[in-house]
């Protein structure tokens, strides 16, 4: 690692996104998703499963208040395990003082406040801020005096706290609270929630660590690792960095903490003969993190972990950790990545499958995992601006992440298959995780709020900065301002992405400024034209680095040719042998039944990439590129049995129409397929 190459995301307050493509999505999040989510948090949406999130904070808050009133030492009610998801016996009349929902339900608030923080950084909104401040009051009122803040245990009984780190998400709740608190502080300058998060983190730092007598556990669902680095960056308190690194150092050491913990639970329950059943690789705790080299287990957990590892590697100069990050990155990108930027080949454990196992129909490819892959990619970019990371980040963003939300912002995919047959989803229980249309909002509301926080902060993936360089990783029209020493450069960007590769960046300065502007050359282009106005150009890691003294009005223009790519997968990917997919720029395309009729598997591509026509069309109120591909369709036999003599199939001409993958399933129920027979 070379510290000179390190960069950090540009503060959201220094960015404006005015891009038509992104404006639409960001406004949906601001105007639809964030307000809707607040209603969900308060169980006020009729057709969505209740969150119970604010209910739980209020219930915990009452416990805190009553304790003060009585002046007695606080004793939490006796712990009763009510399952991973606790639901009221009578849904019409939930009990006021009970915990309901999933064990991690507190994070619904944390994710929401994080998105709110990002949104307020760019769009002041006094009413939203007032709502958020009131919510923060409710949350902070639930915090125990010692700093502990997880309503599941506060309500159900603190005697069981920290007895099941593997499953019960206490440290996950800490992580999300920290992320939300930092974002809200950065977006508004208000630190009430940040102080609460610090107190919870301090409580954990006192309890967990390498020192004798401290707990040697670590999160069952990773996120605290990267969150604590943000807390360290915003507060400068070393103990958060130490705690994060402790969690990473400890993970996967023998004896395995989750196994020992499970044995202790079994012993306490008198089940002495029962074997511990912990699946260590599910939690990436099967071996020390620096020794890991294959991306395994729950995909969201994995990329959250790897993000934390990249952060700690950067902060501590930990080369072994960085080497592990690179191996894990290569494992994903070389063997386990969907062409839509999705990850997680199997719904069993929502996990990575084995190398090259990338099924299209039973894919999990969770929206949250694609978001997590962006986290990981951005953190790798922060260590070294290498466009390979940005290419994957862009692929995940424009395809799986955007596919997660309907074009009207009102429904969401959690699972993002690359091939869908509605009859199969309806009749085949193996596909019970695959929904052929987006869903309203689940009880386990991870993906919609994750999309909200990602989209609201998308500019932090577009731009990072080091002392002397401003990196542009993704292209979107707008402005970004960076200080070079005592001076500022504002870069005004006009971009045609994702529909064309024309980019113009105009410099606004009060007086000439010396600095480097680094622009990514996308991996999907070749023969890029750069007009740098005479500035010194260096190509480094796929970035055009333009250095010199910038005058007001200086402009850089890029022309990134954006041809249609007809793509094949490595032949080891059994699912896709003999098939092709189409990409153009960062966008992966797919065939939908609405355009091509049903039984999409009967289609075959009968041309080269050069024969594909590209057009811009307004489909369902959204301007989008559409590809037209000359093809053939197998004609179904009129009679005959299930099996017959192999003979050349009868085919008829077909014009295959492809739309961007992210835009699928906005026109009702139907088949979809990314890969077509070639």
Among 236, 255, 270, 641, which residue interacts with its own copies (rule: CB under 8 A)? 641
The verdict on 578 binding its own copies (CB under 8 A) reads yes
Considering the complex, state which of residue 213 and residue 640 has its C-beta at the smaller distance from its own copies: 640
Tokens of 30: 């601001």
Q: How far is the CB of 145 from its own copies (least distance, A)?
A: 39
User: What are the Cα distances from residue 500, in Å, to 288, 560, 616, 676?
Assistant: 44, 8, 11, 24
User: Is 339 one of the binding residues for its own copies (CB under 8 A)?
Assistant: yes
- Shortest distance, position 334 Cβ to its own copies, whole Å: 6
Nearer to its own copies, 3 or 277 (CB): 277
According to CB under 8 A, which one of 72, 96, 640, 653 is a site residue for its own copies? 640
Please tell me the distance from the alpha carbon of residue 45 to that of residue 37, in angstroms, as a whole number: 9
Residue 82 interacting with its own copies (CB under 8 A): no
- According to CB under 8 A, which one of 334, 485, 553, 561 is a site residue for its own copies? 334
> Per-residue x/- mask for its own copies, residues 408 to 427, rule CB under 8 A?
-------------x-xx--x
Cα separation, 142 vs 62, in Å, equals 8
- Residue 634 touching its own copies (CB under 8 A): yes
Q: How far is the CB of 413 from its own copies (least distance, A)?
A: 20
What's the distance, CA 34 to chain centroid? 17
The burial of 634, by beta-carbon neighbours within 10 Å (0-12 exposed, 13-18 middle, 19 or more buried), is given as: middle
Residue 427 C-beta: closest distance to its own copies, Å: 4
The span of 5-13, 200-208, 538-546, 640-648 binding its own copies (CB under 8 A) equals 640-648
Q: How far is CA 652 from the centre of its chain?
A: 42
Query: Of the candidates 46, 70, 647, 653, which one interacts with its own copies according to CB under 8 A?
Result: 647
Which of 188/279 has CB closer to its own copies? 279
Q: Considering the rule CB under 8 A, would residue 69 count as an interface residue with its own copies?
A: no
- The yes or no reply on residue 580 touching its own copies (CB under 8 A) is yes
Residue of 254, 429, 486, 653 interacting with its own copies (CB under 8 A): 429
Contact in structure between 9 and 470 (CB atoms under 8 Å):
no
Is residue 599 within the footprint of its own copies (CB under 8 A)? Answer: yes
Given a contact cutoff of 8 angstroms between Cβ atoms, the answer to whether 234 and 8 are in contact is no
Minimum Å gap between C-beta 343 and its own copies is 12
Beta carbon nearer to its own copies, 382 or 576: 576
- Residue 173's alpha-carbon distances to 119, 235, 263, in angstroms, are 22, 20, 24
Using CB under 8 A as the binding rule, the residues of this chain from 303 to 332 that contact its own copies are none
The reply to whether 271 sits near its own copies by the rule CB under 8 A is no
Candidate list 613, 616, 649, 669; residue touching its own copies; CB under 8 A: 649
| Nearest alpha-carbon partner for 42 in 77, 89, 94 | 94
Among 573, 587, 591, 625, binds its own copies (CB under 8 A): 573
Told to check if 346 binds its own copies by CB under 8 A, we report yes
Question: What are the distances in angstroms from CA 444 to CA 102, 181, 348, 547?
Answer: 7, 21, 17, 48
CA 557, chain centre distance (Å) = 31
According to the binding rule CB under 8 A, does residue 564 interact with its own copies? no
Binding of residue 159 to its own copies (CB under 8 A):
no
- Contacts of 559-563 with CB under 8 Å at 24 or more apart are 559/501, 559/502, 559/528, 559/529, 560/501, 560/502, 560/503, 560/521, 560/522, 560/525, 560/528, 560/585, 561/501, 561/525, 561/526, 561/527, 561/528, 562/500, 562/501, 562/524, 562/525, 563/609
CA distances from 223 to 7, 117, 421, 591, 613 (A): 21, 18, 35, 36, 44
Question: What residues numbered 93-132 form the site for its own copies, per CB under 8 A?
Answer: none
Q: Do 37 and 45 contact (CB within 8 A), yes or no?
A: no
| The one among 70, 127, 645, 652 contacting its own copies by CB under 8 A | 645
Distances (CA, A) of 640 to 599, 600, 601: 19, 21, 20
Residue 478: both structure tokens together: 């707008």
Instruction: Verify binding: residue 270, its own copies, rule CB under 8 A.
Output: no
Token pair listed for 347: 């719904």
Pick from 82, 601, 622, 667: which binds its own copies (CB under 8 A)?
601
Distances (CA, A) of 54 to 108, 136, 139, 520, 656: 9, 10, 8, 43, 49
Q: Is the peptide bond between 255 and the residue preceding it cis, with omega within 30 degrees of 0?
A: yes
Provide the token pair at 301. Answer: 């957990």
Residue 175 is inside which H or E element, if any? helix 170-188
Q: Which stretch binds its own copies (CB under 8 A): 52-60, 146-154, 528-536, 559-567?
A: 559-567
Selected binder of its own copies within 553, 574, 611, 668 (CB under 8 A): 574
Residue 335 contacts its own copies per CB under 8 A: yes
CB of 261 to its own copies, least distance (A): 23
Site size toward its own copies (CB under 8 A) is 55
From the list 114, 129, 262, 350, the catalytic residue is: 350
350 noted as active-site residue: yes
Q: Tell whether residue 610 is a contact of its own copies (CB under 8 A).
A: no
CB of 566 to its own copies, least distance (A): 4
The distance of closest approach from Cβ of residue 641 to its own copies in the complex, given in angstroms and rounded to an integer, is 7
Cβ atoms of 431 and 54 closer than 8 Å: no
CA distances in angstroms from 248 to 208, 218, 242, 311, listed in the order given: 12, 8, 10, 11
Residue 569 interacts with its own copies (CB under 8 A): yes or no: yes
Contact segment (CB under 8 A) with its own copies among 157-165, 172-180, 478-486, 634-642 equals 634-642
Q: Residues 137, 511, 570, 617: which binds its own copies (CB under 8 A)?
A: 570
Binding to its own copies, residues 349-408 (CB under 8 A): 349, 353-354, 357, 362
> 3-class DSSP state for residue 426?
helix
Active-site hit among 446, 447, 545, 590: 446
Cβ–Cβ < 8 Å for 433, 364: yes
Considering the complex, state which of residue 501 and residue 515 has its C-beta at the smaller distance from its own copies: 501
CA-CA distance, 497 to 642, in Å (whole number)?
48
Please select the residue that binds its own copies; options are 369, 455, 602, 625, rule is CB under 8 A.
602
DSSP assignment of 27-38 equals HHIIIIIHHHHH
Binding site for its own copies (CB under 8 A): 89-90, 273, 333-335, 337, 339, 346-349, 353-354, 357, 362, 421, 423-424, 427-430, 565-574, 577-578, 580-581, 599, 601-602, 609, 634, 636-637, 640-647, 649, 677-678
Catalytically annotated residues: 350, 446
């Amino acid at each position: 690692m070379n510290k000179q190459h390190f960069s950090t995301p540009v503060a959201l307050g220094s960015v404006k996104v005015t891009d038509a493509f992104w404006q639409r999505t960001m406004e949906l999040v601001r105007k639809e998703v964030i307000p809707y989510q607040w209603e969900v948090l308060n169980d006020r949406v009729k057709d969505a499963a209740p969150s119970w999130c604010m209910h739980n904070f209020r219930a915990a808050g009452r416990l805190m208040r009553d304790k003060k009133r009585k002046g007695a030492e606080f004793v939490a009610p006796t712990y009763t395990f009510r399952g991973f998801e606790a639901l009221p016996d009578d849904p019409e009349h939930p009990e006021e003082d009970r915990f309901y929902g999933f064990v991690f339900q507190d994070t619904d608030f944390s994710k929401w406040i994080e998105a709110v923080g990002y949104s307020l950084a760019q769009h002041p909104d006094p009413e939203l801020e007032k709502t958020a401040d009131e919510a923060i009051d409710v949350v902070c009122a639930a915090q125990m005096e010692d700093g502990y803040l997880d309503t599941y245990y506060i309500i159900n009984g603190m005697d069981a706290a920290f007895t099941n780190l593997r499953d019960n998400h206490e440290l996950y709740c800490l992580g999300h609270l920290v992320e939300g608190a930092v974002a809200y502080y950065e977006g508004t300058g208000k630190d009430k929630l940040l102080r609460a998060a610090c107190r919870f983190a301090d409580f954990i730092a006192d309890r967990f660590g390498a020192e004798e007598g401290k707990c040697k556990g670590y999160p069952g669902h990773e996120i605290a690792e990267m969150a604590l680095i943000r807390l360290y960056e915003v507060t400068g308190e070393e103990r958060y960095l130490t705690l994060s690194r402790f969690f990473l150092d400890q993970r996967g050491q023998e004896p395995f903490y989750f196994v020992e913990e499970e044995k202790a639970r079994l012993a306490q329950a008198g089940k002495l003969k029962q074997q511990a059943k912990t699946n260590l690789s599910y939690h990436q705790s099967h071996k020390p993190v620096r020794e890991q080299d294959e991306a395994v287990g729950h995909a969201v957990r994995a990329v959250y972990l790897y993000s934390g590892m990249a952060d700690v590697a950067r902060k501590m100069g930990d080369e072994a950790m960085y080497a592990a990050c690179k191996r894990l990155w290569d494992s994903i990108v070389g063997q386990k990545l969907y062409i839509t930027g999705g990850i997680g080949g199997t719904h069993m454990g929502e996990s990575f499958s084995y190398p090259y196992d990338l099924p299209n129909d039973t894919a999990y490819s969770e929206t949250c995992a694609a978001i997590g892959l962006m986290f990981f990619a951005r953190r790798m970019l922060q260590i070294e601006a290498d466009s390979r990371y940005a290419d994957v980040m862009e692929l995940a963003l424009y395809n799986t992440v955007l596919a997660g939300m309907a074009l009207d912002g009102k429904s969401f995919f959690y699972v993002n298959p690359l091939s869908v047959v509605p009859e199969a989803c309806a009749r085949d229980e193996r596909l019970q995780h695959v929904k052929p249309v987006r869903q309203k909002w689940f009880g386990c509301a991870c993906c919609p709020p994750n999309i909200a926080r990602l989209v609201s902060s998308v500019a932090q993936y577009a731009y990072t900065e080091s002392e002397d360089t401003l990196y542009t990783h993704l292209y979107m029209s707008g402005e970004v301002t960076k200080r070079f020493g005592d001076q500022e450069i504002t870069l005004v960007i006009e971009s045609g992405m994702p529909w064309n590769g024309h980019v113009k960046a105009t410099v606004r300065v009060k007086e000439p400024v010396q600095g480097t502007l680094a622009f990514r050359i996308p991996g999907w282009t070749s023969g890029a034209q750069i007009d740098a106005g005479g500035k010194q150009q260096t190509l480094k890691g796929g970035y055009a680095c333009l250095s010199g003294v910038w005058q007001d009005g200086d402009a850089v223009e890029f022309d990134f040719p954006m041809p249609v790519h007809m793509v094949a997968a490595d032949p080891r990917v059994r699912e896709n042998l003999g098939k092709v997919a189409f990409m153009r720029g960062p966008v992966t395309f797919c065939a939908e039944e609405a355009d091509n009729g049903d039984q999409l598997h009967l289609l075959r591509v009968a041309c080269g990439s050069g024969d594909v026509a590209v057009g811009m069309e307004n489909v369902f109120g959204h301007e989008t590129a559409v590809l037209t591909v000359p093809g053939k369709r197998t004609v179904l036999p009129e009679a005959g049995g299930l099996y017959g003599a192999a003979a050349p199939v009868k085919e008829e001409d077909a014009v295959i129409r492809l739309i961007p993958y992210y835009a699928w399933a906005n026109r009702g129920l139907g088949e979809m397929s990314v890969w077509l027979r070639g």
